[in-house]
């Protein structure tokens, strides 16, 4: 059999509201197929909803990004891999992963997060006050999308918000595809070093914040290491920063383009949580980042995948799979989209997903109620979408009201 | 209907609690599933089916 890789990955979006056009062709014609990666290696892509869930929830697929055979989506990344790098939750496998995740999960339970609701509401209101007090057009990214999740995660972790410009600047470098590997490494190290210093200050008298409580808890079970906690803090800060911010911006554009959908949540805020799920599905801002390495032969969607082979689980394709979602390319906040894989699936499914849901719910319910005349200040075509980032979104969102 | 959980598989995503807080809760310590009512019926049984459908780790199964 000749082996042909018909496509190169990662594939850029050509429309802000749709996956790359080739996804549909792959999903319908060759749902598990070989593709070419930037370094010239090949990997499988898995594109159907059911198969993506299988890959992300089977122990025969490893998340160990330090493994030499792990599929690399950024050119030159393999050469700069550092085996001594501190492992974070994202790169761990069982049996190491479960206990490490469970050590911090208590901070993210639905009930615990619910207690933060009034404070998040206050933060959202404060940012909208500032937007309305400022000049028109205003930039929604700068005034609302970025500061809300940033303020929230900083308060949770016990990170001074005054330092946000420092980690914002470095976070951008970490997630931009065009950042040279050496620079990405330096940016990662800078944030982790900052975290380690901050944690060191908390060690003597651990405060009542997430990092402080983690120091106490991990000491109690004898597993406390400052560098490991700094790695966790880095992950939570970066993940809590960019993801929700981009979803706020993109969803705002989608609501303004679909006034009938917006009218539904304004009439009944009880529908907003379903709208959040639909927005997550519709945009799937982290797509091919859910790569895995097969460590034991397994058949997926009728295709044998062998140990040592790389796999990209295409979340965006899964979330537009008509087998799982009727009329998948339509934005329909009432469809019941909760089985989407925008937060991933399986043991690595997003730790902060319920925080993100609550932030988005509060923002949508507050923004459109308080600023009913909100409009885009430029055409959608002129908006600076993040075509070059691992996390899709908007650099700026000029609005008037 | 009987709800069966495998806490060893549970990854603490909390999707079940979001689906129906009258049926499910999470351990304060490690976020894993706690079933509040193992034998729901009527509307609650429907909620249990939805929770099983969205559970990311298949920790939740139903005996109908």
Chain B residue at shortest CA distance from A213: B29
Residue A386, both tokens? 């993040």
**Residue of B6, B8, B12, B20 to mutate, testing the A interface (most A Cβ within 10 Å of its Cβ):** B12
CA distances to A30, A173, A329, A335 from A176, in Å? 30, 5, 27, 33
ipTM: 0.95
Contact A58, A25 (CB under 8 A): no
> How far is Cα A147 from Cα A140, in angstroms, rounded to an integer?
10
Taking the CA of residue B7 and the nearest CA in chain A, the distance in Å comes to 11
Contact A339, A90 (CB under 8 A): no
Say yes or no: domain B2-63 is CATH 3.30.70.20. yes
> How far is Cα A291 from Cα A44, in angstroms, rounded to an integer?
10
**Residue of B9, B16, B27, B30 to mutate, testing the A interface (most A Cβ within 10 Å of its Cβ):** B30
Distance of CA A119 to the CA centre of its chain: 23
* Residue among A173, A166, A168 at smallest CA distance from A188: A173
**Cβ of residue A303 closer than 8 Å to a chain B Cβ:** no
Contact A315, A287 (CB under 8 A): yes
Please state whether beta strands A291-294 and A138-139 pair in parallel, antiparallel, or not at all (unpaired). unpaired
Phi-psi region of A158 (alpha: psi -120 to 50; beta: other; left: phi over 0): left
CB pairs under 8 A between A and B: 70
Sheet holding A61-62, edge to edge: A7-8, A32-36, A42-46, A310-313, A291-294, A61-62
From first to last of the 401 residues of chain A, give the pLDDT tens digit: 445 677 999 998 999 999 999 999 999 999 999 999 998 999 999 999 999 999 999 999 999 988 989 999 888 766 666 666 778 899 999 999 999 999 999 999 999 999 999 999 999 999 999 999 999 999 999 999 999 999 999 999 999 988 988 888 888 788 777 788 888 889 888 998 999 999 999 999 999 999 999 999 999 999 999 999 999 998 998 888 889 999 999 999 999 999 999 999 999 999 999 999 999 999 999 987 689 999 999 999 999 999 999 999 999 999 999 999 999 999 999 999 999 999 999 999 999 999 999 999 999 999 999 999 999 999 999 999 998 778 899 999 999 99
Residues of chain B neighbouring A348 (CB-CB closer than 8 A): 11
Taking the CA of residue A79 and the nearest CA in chain B, the distance in Å comes to 33
Contact A351, A210 (CB under 8 A): no
Please name each of the domains of chain A with its CATH number.
Answer: 7-400 (1.10.630.10)
Q: Which of residues 10-49 of B touch A (CB under 8 A)?
A: 11-15, 17-19, 21, 25-32
Residues of chain B neighbouring A111 (CB-CB closer than 8 A): 17, 25-26, 28
**Cβ of residue A338 closer than 8 Å to a chain B Cβ:** yes
């Amino acid at each position: 059999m000749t082996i042909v890789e018909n496509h190169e990955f990662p594939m850029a979006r050509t429309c802000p509201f749709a996956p790359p056009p080739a996804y549909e062709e792959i999903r319908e014609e060759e749902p598990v197929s070989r593709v070419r990666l930037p370094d010239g290696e090949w990997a499988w892509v898995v594109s159907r909803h059911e198969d993506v869930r299988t890959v992300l929830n089977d122990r025969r697929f490893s998340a160990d990004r330090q493994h030499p055979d792990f599929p690399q989506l950024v050119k030159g990344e393999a050469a700069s891999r550092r085996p001594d790098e501190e492992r974070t939750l994202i790169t761990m496998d069982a049996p190491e992963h479960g206990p490490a995740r469970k050590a911090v999960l208590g901070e993210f339970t639905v009930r615990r997060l619910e207690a933060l609701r009034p404070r998040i509401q206050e933060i959202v209101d404060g940012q909208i006050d500032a937007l309305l007090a400022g000049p028109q057009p205003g930039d929604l990214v700068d005034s609302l999308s970025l500061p809300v999740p940033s303020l929230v995660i900083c308060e949770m972790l016990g990170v001074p918000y005054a330092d946000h410009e420092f980690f914002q600047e470095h976070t951008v470098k970490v997630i931009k595809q065009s950042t040279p590997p050496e620079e990405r490494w330096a940016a990662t190290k800078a944030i982790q070093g900052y975290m380690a210093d901050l944690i060191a200050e908390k060690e003597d008298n651990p405060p009542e914040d997430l990092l402080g409580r983690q120091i106490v808890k991990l000491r109690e079970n004898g597993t406390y290491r400052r560098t490991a906690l700094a790695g966790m803090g880095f992950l939570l800060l970066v993940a809590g920063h960019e993801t929700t911010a981009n979803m706020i911006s993109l969803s705002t554009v989608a609501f303004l383009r679909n006034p009938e959908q917006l009218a539904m949540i304004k009439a009944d805020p009880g529908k907003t949580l379903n709208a959040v799920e639909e927005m997550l599905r519709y945009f799937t801002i982290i797509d091919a980042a859910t790569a895995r390495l097969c460590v034991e032969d397994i058949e997926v969607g009728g295709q044998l995948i062998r140990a040592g082979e790389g796999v990209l689980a295409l979340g965006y394709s899964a979330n537009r799979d008509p087998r799982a979602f009727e009329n998948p390319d339509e934005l329909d906040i009432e469809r019941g989209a909760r089985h989407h894989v925008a937060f991933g699936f399986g043991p690595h499914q997003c730790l902060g997903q319920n925080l993100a849901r609550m932030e988005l719910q509060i923002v949508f319910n507050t923004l459109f109620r308080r600023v009913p005349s909100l409009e885009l200040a430029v055409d959608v075509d002129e908006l600076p979408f993040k075509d070059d980032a691992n996390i899709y979104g908007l650099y700026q969102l000029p609005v008037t009201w | 209907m009987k709800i069966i959980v495998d806490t060893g598989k549970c990854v603490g995503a909390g999707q079940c609690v979001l689906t129906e807080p009258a049926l499910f809760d999470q351990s304060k310590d490690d976020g894993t599933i706690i079933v509040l009512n193992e034998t729901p019926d009527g509307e609650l049984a429907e909620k249990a089916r939805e929770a099983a459908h969205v559970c990311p780790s298949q920790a939740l199964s139903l005996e109908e």
